Structure 1
């Protein structure tokens, strides 16, 4: 009898998955805080699929090692980006596979297994709305044309989810990074979820006023629904560029709410499990805006789901050190904090050493009342 109980206990441990209760993540009954960094890319848009990972493996693995060695537990990684090399498109802009060489799923499996071996959770971000490169027409087709979006879901997304859903290190999916980069902030609509005039003069639409809120939210809704219908335990988000579009605080609007996503896409399964937002100070004043997470407790936003500060750094950190920012997130109700970004390219990016110092500021924390456990056994 004792042997059977021990076996069942071990099986429960091995099969454990992250879950959400209230405003927080839990794993094996303990509240979790995600302390980590973004490794958005090694080569922007050219990391996954078509046998590319074998040329990026060392850099991806080195960041897993760095996060582990400095006391962190999670990494956010970009997959398709703007459709440069995955998924595989035909000449009409419809998706016909994950990638031309059919290597993407195996590559992600290998990466996720390495992450598990080092006790690091991975969040996969599918698309990027913060930039517009020469392949962006592929992504535009998926956002504007529902037949093309269906082709992506059927021929790439669902096969990916089916193949990866049992990987213990796969913590969650992020549908699109900063859709606000390409949103039209000047559209009036009788439907409040599609009226974006509240974002006028907010900075949204910095890469062009390309899409309506309705188009972008449908794009998110359908993909979330497909993921959650394929893997009911999957945890899914979409990363807002600023809380301005992710909260009703101070006259703003939560475009990512269940109501807005369902109104746009009409699929009740396509709602987010948790929220994630980004924050940087003003380049001139070096001050955070009034809605920044680093000026609020999480509960002030009125969101009834976990919220991760999914991008921030010390370079544009409002005169705070990276350790102060990580510590603020830990003790003010947030579910995690990921610095930007491990590639450390560009003037607005912290060095990898700075980000490692931020992780060390929370090393070994396990305050089940105010923050959560960071060291995890996956």
Structure 2
């Protein structure tokens, strides 16, 4: 998965001419009128004349900042659309393609034609699609015993990613790369299962794939950060008592739709080790995980926050292995948001000590809100909003 977005800067400036009200408004217009555009999480600080090469994203309390300015990260998810995803970025003058980054066992009903995803801003149109490992279908490279021996079979993935990130930076876009997906369990899940349960196998991934990849990409201005896993609760074992509230799921219903496979301790260890490895190489890296629901990410409303620094370190033992910001998803069920949905609350009501991103939502999964209304609600108090998904109409 890849994520694209735009900064908050100048969105507030009502005096600016309509075409220059910031990329977030351009994105809102395109989402509303076309329903298709991209998630790459992005900070476009001062319109197209400025370059993303200034400073990196930073955390200041519950805000994300860049070059000293508070920013709002706005965009959309681009998920699966073909068995072998081709990541293509194009302009009216040139076209550069990236191939072979992706999943290989997508179900037929999940396969679509590659979409055209216009983001209107001066004279360029940017198209990008990317899932990285998912469940380990095509990357990283595994041996017959389930240990990781490299990043990919052909040795071309790093070069592809560098090319993509360089191109993104030239257009003032930064990219978040999602490594794994917990919301599905398909033909190659046994590979991800090995990494989740066996720490020796997980360490082999860190040593032979993750760390080399981070070393190669960390200094590229087009890289925004790392989204470690999409909805790990899809494979969480619910309603299981543990004396430690970090790992207790006895009061948690909803997770496990893709299989009741892992305890919270196993999931948090999996995340903790990878986050620590990334930060050991790149101490200023942004790292997140896309929680299925706000219920996993707050102590408010009768819930427990399982993704705190304390819980992650307790599970994995690596002090660097924490999240830079909180990110949770929200969809209506039978036409209604649940009581913890970010579309029912402002960000400060969760009483969290880090920025909050609404990491997945869509117009068709709302209580009748338009996509513009959803982005505007997010903009009023959250640090960012990334809709789902770019290759759907809404």
Residue 214 to residue 72, structure 1, CA distance change in 2 (3 Å): farther
In the TM superposition, residue 40 of structure 1 has moved relative to its aligned partner by 2.5
Distance 1:74 1:26 in 2: 26
What TM-score comes out, normalization by structure 2 length?
0.77
Distance 1:107 1:33 in 2: 28
In the TM superposition, residue 54 of structure 1 has moved relative to its aligned partner by 3.0
Look up the match of 1:366: none
In the TM superposition, residue 343 of structure 1 has moved relative to its aligned partner by 2.1
In the TM superposition, residue 72 of structure 1 has moved relative to its aligned partner by 12
State whether structure 2 residue 65 is matched by structure 1 residue 17: no
After superposition, residues 255-270 of structure 1 pair within 5 angstroms as 255-270=306-321
Residue 148 to residue 55, structure 1, CA distance change in 2 (3 Å): closer
Counterpart secondary structure, 1:96:
strand
State whether structure 2 residue 392 is matched by structure 1 residue 339: no
Counterpart secondary structure, 1:330:
helix
Residue 13 to residue 240, structure 1, CA distance change in 2 (3 Å): closer
> Contact 1:36/1:72 (CA < 8 Å) preserved in 2?
no
State whether structure 2 residue 200 is matched by structure 1 residue 147: yes
Map Cα deviations across residues 125-176 of structure 1 (whole Å, 9 max, x no partner).
1000000010000000000000000000000000110000011121111111
In the TM superposition, residue 267 of structure 1 has moved relative to its aligned partner by 0.7
Structure 1 runs (4+) greater than 6 angstroms displaced:
69-76
Distance 1:297 1:208 in 2: 32
Look up the match of 1:319: 368
More helix per residue: 1
Q: Which runs of 5+ in 1 are unaligned?
A: 1-11, 345-350, 355-378
Residue 342 to residue 29, structure 1, CA distance change in 2 (3 Å): same
After superposition, residues 1-378 of structure 1 pair within 5 angstroms as 14-43=53-82, 46=85, 53-54=98-99, 63=117, 65-66=118-119, 68=121, 77-199=130-252, 202-282=253-333, 284=334, 286-331=335-380, 333-344=381-392, 351=393, 354=394
Distance 1:251 1:76 in 2: 38
Map Cα deviations across residues 232-251 of structure 1 (whole Å, 9 max, x no partner).
11010100010011111111
RMSD of aligned alpha carbons: 2.6
Counterpart secondary structure, 2:194:
helix
> Contact 1:77/1:123 (CA < 8 Å) preserved in 2?
no
Map Cα deviations across residues 5-46 of structure 1 (whole Å, 9 max, x no partner).
xxxxxxx98452111101111111111101111112343675
Residue 100 to residue 73, structure 1, CA distance change in 2 (3 Å): closer
Question: How many aligned positions are there?
Answer: 325
> Contact 2:133/2:179 (CA < 8 Å) preserved in 1?
yes
Look up the match of 2:105: none
Distance 1:203 1:214 in 2: 18
In the TM superposition, residue 75 of structure 1 has moved relative to its aligned partner by 8.4
Q: Which runs of 5+ in 2 are unaligned?
A: 1-50, 88-96, 103-112
Residue 186 to residue 45, structure 1, CA distance change in 2 (3 Å): farther
